[in-house]
Homo-oligomer: A and B are copies of this chain.
Amino acid sequence: MDSQLTPAVLSELRHILGERGLIIAANQLQTYECDGLTAFRVPPAAVVLPESTEQVQKILRVCHRERIPFVARGSGTGLSGGALPTEGSIVIGLSRMNRILSIDIPNQQITVQPGVINSNVTAAVSPQGYFYAPDPSSQTVCSIGGNIAENAGGAHCLKYGFTVTHVLEMTVVLPDGDIVTLGSKLPNAPGYDLAGVFIGSEGTLGVATEMTLRIMRKPETVQVILAAFNTISAAAQSVSDVIASCQLPAAMEIMDRLSIEAAELSVHPNYPACEALLLIELDGPQGEVDLQMAVVIDICKRNGAWETRLAVDENARFLVWKGRKAAFAAAGRLSPNYIVQDGVIPRTALPVVLEKLNAMAAGENLRVTNVFHAGDGNLHPIILYDRNNPGEEERAIDLSLRILDVCVEAGGSITGEHGVGREKQCSMSYMFADPDLETMQRLRRSFDPLNLSNPDKLFPTPRICGERSRGAYAPHSLETSGIAEVF
């Protein structure tokens, strides 16, 4: 189905991009046939590597004229198949658009290209005392363009908000090749908030080629405390109490016994052995953090924490986070295979939902370990299984889908931060009513009437989902995707 890529079109692309900017050799295309969701693989018809907005515009003009679908790709670390090529598509690899274009410290802004690696933004402004807040765990390898596509979060988005809070303005090439400016460097611009709708649109509305990001002053101090509880419910209650107390920690994470054990086996963070570990990070001026920490410790103790341990220095804090960030990969120490699920529930529903999950896991004779962005109600259940036991993988997949059902039934969501992409598109109709999905589709068509920009993603389609199927889900494993640390 790569018939649209005629020699004339290829020659035109080569003319736009130069010899180095066009990949068509089958062995080189393999690199681009999947992202972090390695269970799905489709080789693209070609890969282009533009270096400027103008080149992206020319590419999209060709795609538009020839009706060739395209898929933009950052670092390919996504976990939901958002950068999976569509059959016959051109992949637009943005890794060469990796320049920092300008830094404006007085207005706390930085302008970058989409291929810039997340942690390089902070690196660029760190000498002046600033940082870029969104911190997906893959931040040392994932790109800002990909972060925008997925509206990436991270442990600290509890306090600082998701990517959408930190992108002020973007240059976007629309699927017909028009170049537009979405958003504004100033607050509350007139007109529709098109930047807000583009961020998190998973590549379906066009290609962002330049973005102005908000940078923030580094806090004077950062402190992390570990609190050990006998039950997840007690830890969850502490999270609710901290939020109700008018404190806003930078991060609040819960790990259960199995994930603590896995982390110990993997990176030895020396966590207290307990049923539920609550990790709370506070940041701000020293005096404020001291005051807040006293309140937080008091709340934990009132909820039954039998140990509250402050990470005494930068090294201790680093080790605490290393354990938490390694939790997924560490699941490989507990089990030959596992599925990482990503769902959201109202914070207050945590005890009830966990009880259900545990009962469901027991019913399937499977082990499930849990790590949570507890402040946001974002669950990451990890279903452990052994592919060599007949039928176990199928039961694990089924369980992971039923966990999403439980999340939705509790008033929650099918994904907190990994995105819909290819993985969960069939679950969208379980979460949204038909008119809601149709309204999104209308918006999509208003940007992309020919359905060329990352088609067959995000929304359920009869071809992929059948008439009313939820599950085209397939497990992904961090060993195979090569990503060491992912939330």
Footprint of B on A, CB under 8 Å? 106-108, 151, 153, 157, 162, 164, 174, 178-182, 184-194, 196-197, 199-201, 217-220, 240, 243-246, 284-285, 287-288, 291-292, 295, 344-348, 376-378, 411-417, 419-420, 424, 428, 431-433, 435-440, 442-447, 458
List residues of chain B with CB within 8 A of the CB of A345. Answer: 186
A75–chain B nearest beta-carbon distance, Å: 20
A378 to B164, CA, bound (A): 22
Cross-chain contact B186 with A197 (CB below 8 angstroms): no
For A433, give its contact among B162, B180, B414, B436 (CB under 8 Å).
B180
For A413, give its contact among B151, B186, B439 (CB under 8 Å).
B186
List residues of chain B with CB within 8 A of the CB of A439. Answer: 174, 178, 180, 182, 194, 447
Decide yes or no: A186 and B346 within 8 Å by CB, A178-B435, A439-B194 being known contacts. yes
Cross-chain contact B445 with A190 (CB below 8 angstroms): no
* Residue of chain B at shortest CB distance from A109: B346
A253–chain B nearest beta-carbon distance, Å: 15
A39 to B115, CA, bound (A): 50
Decide yes or no: A190 and B442 within 8 Å by CB, A285-B246, A291-B285 being known contacts. no
Cross-chain contact A440 with B188 (CB below 8 angstroms): no
Decide yes or no: A188 and B344 within 8 Å by CB, A197-B193, A220-B246 being known contacts. yes
List residues of chain B with CB within 8 A of the CB of A243. Answer: 108
Cross-chain contact A107 with B346 (CB below 8 angstroms): yes
Cross-chain contact B217 with A433 (CB below 8 angstroms): no
A415 to B189, CA, bound (A): 7
List residues of chain B with CB within 8 A of the CB of A444. Answer: 192
List residues of chain B with CB within 8 A of the CB of A292. Answer: 285, 288
Decide yes or no: A191 and B346 within 8 Å by CB, A240-B106, A411-B185, A445-B446 being known contacts. no
List residues of chain B with CB within 8 A of the CB of A432. Answer: 181, 191
List residues of chain B with CB within 8 A of the CB of A185. Answer: 346, 411
Cross-chain contact B287 with A428 (CB below 8 angstroms): no
Q: A186-B411, A191-B432 are in contact. List 6 more A-B contacts (CB 8 A).
A: A106-B348, A180-B439, A186-B412, A190-B458, A287-B291, A288-B288
A379–chain B nearest beta-carbon distance, Å: 11
A56 to B79, CA, bound (A): 42
Cross-chain contact B193 with A164 (CB below 8 angstroms): yes
Cross-chain contact A443 with B194 (CB below 8 angstroms): yes
List residues of chain B with CB within 8 A of the CB of A181. Answer: 432-433, 436
* Residue of chain B at shortest CB distance from A294: B287
A326–chain B nearest beta-carbon distance, Å: 23
Cross-chain contact B191 with A428 (CB below 8 angstroms): yes
Cross-chain contact A440 with B197 (CB below 8 angstroms): no
List residues of chain B with CB within 8 A of the CB of A436. Answer: 180-182, 191
A442 to B220, CA, bound (A): 46
For A420, give its contact among B191, B244, B245 (CB under 8 Å).
B191
Decide yes or no: A442 and B431 within 8 Å by CB, A106-B348, A192-B200 being known contacts. no
For A431, give its contact among B153, B190, B220 (CB under 8 Å).
B190
List residues of chain B with CB within 8 A of the CB of A291. Answer: 285, 287-288
For A440, give its contact among B194, B196, B420 (CB under 8 Å).
B194
A438–chain B nearest beta-carbon distance, Å: 8
A162 to B432, CA, bound (A): 27
Sampled A-B contacts (8; CB under 8 Å): A108-B243, A153-B188, A157-B188, A180-B436, A186-B377, A187-B377, A190-B431, A193-B193
A184–chain B nearest beta-carbon distance, Å: 7
Cross-chain contact A188 with B246 (CB below 8 angstroms): no
List residues of chain B with CB within 8 A of the CB of A417. Answer: 188
Decide yes or no: A458 and B346 within 8 Å by CB, A217-B245, A435-B179 being known contacts. no
A347 to B105, CA, bound (A): 12
* Residue of chain B at shortest CB distance from A246: B217
